Amino acid sequence: MIKFLTPFEKISKTNRTLILTGWLVLLIAIWFIATSGEKHLFPSPSQVLTGFQELYKEGLVVHIFNSLKLCFISIFLATIISLVLAYSWPIPLLKSVSEFVTKFRFLPFTGLSFYITMVVHEARMMQVWILVIFLTTFLTTSLIAVIKDIPQEEFDHAKMLKCTRLEVLWQVIILGRIDYVIDVIRQNLAITWMMLVTVESIVVATGGLGFLIKNSDKFMNTGRIIALQIIILLIGLGLDAGINYLRKSIFRYSKI
């Protein structure tokens, strides 16, 4: 037991699983006990289960599909724009432009969405562009950080193999760090997922998980809200694991 409380102590995989299971059981037990009385702030497991059933009947799968579609379209567009900005960062003339875009991540969400609503009138497109603009700032920041972290030796090595400057960019940054792009997307997925639900609840368009939360919120249906939170968490974790698996299986050399 003392071993489990000693900092930096190495433990076996089985022990790690046991500890994790223990904490989960404890959490569920606290949930059951704390919500067993008549008055409770947090919904009971049975209320959450009812929430799940109601959500399923209201077309939860379609809403999940809508949210995922919005997520993928936004990530795809934002990644393309961010890559162009990040790959132009080593070019002196374009460096300031890329760095300027990264500073936009400090802008408030609501202010910018106001201007987007004036330009884009279709609700779904509005959601996409709000997400794309915000994601681009975060993705560009992370991608530039990846480029900055490349050791000078890698650039020198390419130059020593008679690479032109454009070849250095292609070999060292573009091809040499393609697996990092996937990892950057994975790391920023949490922000994407969080923003997506917020955007869906602000700009109510064609449903989605954010729309469902907003609706449940309106009627104080706490069981449904928690059920939705669990769904959102599980989808987020699933996407994270899926992308990580994809990176490792496509790029054998990738050990980030």
* Residue type at 34 in one-letter notation: A
CB 149 → other proteins: shortest distance, Å?
A: 13
CB 253 → other proteins: shortest distance, Å?
A: 4
What is the token pair recorded at 86? 């990040």
**Cβ 141 vs Cβ 85: under 8 Å:** no
CB 86 → other proteins: shortest distance, Å?
A: 17
Q: Is 12 buried (19+), middle (13-18) or exposed (0-12) by CB count in 10 A? A: exposed
CB 159 → other proteins: shortest distance, Å?
A: 5
Residue number, 173 or 197, with CB nearest to other proteins: 173
Residue 30, Cα to own-chain centre: how many angstroms? 29
d(CA 140, CA 97): 11
d(CA 108, CA 130): 12
CB 124 → other proteins: shortest distance, Å?
A: 38
From the CB of residue 222, how many other CB atoms can be counted at a distance below 10 Å? 18
Using only C-alpha atoms, what is the Rg of the chain? 23
User: Footprint of other proteins on this chain (CB under 8 A)?
Assistant: 151, 153-154, 156-163, 171-172, 175-176, 178-179, 251-253, 255
CB 154 → other proteins: shortest distance, Å?
A: 6
For residue 69, give the H/E element and its range. Answer: helix 60-88
Residue 62, Cα to own-chain centre: how many angstroms? 20
**Cβ 131 vs Cβ 70: under 8 Å:** yes
